[in-house]
Structure 1
C-alpha cells in the first residue's frame, strides 16, 4: 500500500469514535453480562435493555466484528474476550466504560475538549453544568462508585507507598484527601508510634473511624473538604490530589498544608503521560505537573524539596517548611 495512504488510514483509525462508543454502549446496556448467560437475538433482548431491535442488531454485529460477541444459531453470545467487560470481571473495565459510572461519565466530556484547550477549564462543566466533584456530591451513587474505583486502583499500590519512606518519623500524619483511610491505616500499621488523621468528604470517610478502631490504630477522622481549615499535624500527605485541580486551587491546598506542618509529602505522577494530562484537563481542569513545576509551586509557600522517591509510576516528593 502507498505509505501516504497507510498513514491516512492509521490516522483515521486513531481518530475514530465508533468502536470506543460501541464498547461503552455495550457495557452500559449490560450486553456482555446478558449474553454470557446464553445466546439471544437482538429481537429477544431489545425489550430487556430498552433498545430498538434493528439498531441493537447493528451494534451486536459490530461487537462481533471486534470479537466481543459471536454469532450462533441461537443468536449472539459473549466471547471469552468479551467477558472481560462483564460487571463481575474484577478488572475495572466495567466501571471505566459504563456511561453512568464516574469515569465513563467523565470521559464523555472529551466531546468538549476544544473548550478545555481554548480556556484551560474543565470540559466536564460544559457537558454537565457543574464540576466533577460537585456532580459527585449531588449523585450519591456516583460518589460511592468513585470511592470503589479508587479503592480498586489503590489496593496493589498501597504497600509500595508504605515502603517508600520512614513514616515513623512523624508524630501525627494527616492524610489530606485520603479516601476511606486504607492507605493511612497501612502506614500506621507499619509505624506503631505514629498517630493518624484522615481528612476527606463525609460520605467518603464514613466507616473509617470504625476501621481504625478495629485495627487498633490511633487515628482521628474529619469529614470535610481540604479547602476547609485543616487539623494540626507534624506532616501532611497528599496522594494524587494536586493534579485534580488548576493552579489556583492547587496553590490553595499547598498553602493550607504549609501553614500547619513542617513537612508536606506529595505523591504524584510527574507528567510522564500525555494522555493522562488531557484526562486531567478535560475532567478537572487540572494536569500532571513536572518535578520543577511542583518545586516552584511549593516554594511559593515556603516549602523546600528535600527528596524524591519513585513509587511505582508515581513519585513521593518530600517538602520541608
Structure 2
C-alpha cells in the first residue's frame, strides 16, 4: 500500500454529503469493519484413505478503505495449518473481484472479494485403524488503514460569530482512532478556540477490546501521519536521538523531504518524533491504546475567525482468526 499520506477524499465526501457530525471536540470511529470472512468450507469432512478434500474460502472488504489481503504461497498465510503429515496441497487457486489470476496478495477496494480454493491430497494411503484427525486452521492477515478528519475554528474573541457546527468523520476497522482538540477558553468549548488559547490536539489509537470488535490479537502499526490545513502544528526539536523517527514520519508526508531533516532542526510535524522509537513502529495488544499530543498554532491575519482542518491516518497490519475445519480420515475397513 502507498506509504505516502493521501488526502482523505473519501471521508471528506462522506461529511459533505451526509452533513456534520455534531459540534463537539471528539471524533471517534465506528470500529469493527475491515475484512469479513464470507465463508470457509471443507468438503467432505469425513474421508477414507486415498480420497481428497476440497477447501474454499471467501473474504470481503466490508470497510470504507482499500485493504491488502496477504495470501502467501499456495494460500499458506490463510490456511496456516493443513496437517502436512496427512495432506499435501495438490493445487491452489485464487481470484478476486478485479484479478482473475492467482497471486500472493490482493488489493481489495471496498466491497471487493477474493475467493480461494485448495485441493488437499493424502500423503499416504496407509491409514491406521483409529484413523486420523486433522484441524485445518485459518487466519486472515491484511494491511489496512484508519483515517480521520476533524475541523476546528479560531475566533478573535468570544463575541465573534462563528460556525455553529464543525465537520468530523473517521473510517472504520479493528483499529479505532479518535481526534480530540483541547485547551479552549471559548464558552462553547473545543473545537472552537479563542485567539491566544494554548490549543493542542490529541490523537488516540485503540486496539479495541474483544467484546467491542470481531477482531482479536496484536495490531502492528505505524504512527499516525498528520496534516494540518489553515492552522499549523507547533515546531518540534530534531535531535540525534529522534532524527531517524522524524525521517520515517517525513517519508510519509507530502512536501517534506526526509533527506533535508537533520539534528538541530526545528520542524513542524505531528506526532513528535520524541514519542516514537527509532523505526517508528508500534504494537498494540487487545485493549491497549496510544496517545499522541501536539500543539497547534495559527495566524488570524486580521480575520475575525478562521477554520482549520486536521487529517490523521495510520497504516497497520492485522491478523484475524478465521477458525478451524476438522477433517476425519477413516480406515477403509471401518
The TM-score normalised by the length of structure 1 is 0.24
Higher helix share: 1
TM-score (norm 2): 0.23
Which of the pair has the greater relative contact order for Cα pairs under 8 Å at 6+ separation? 2
Structure showing the higher strand proportion among its residues: 2
Say which one has the larger Rg: 2
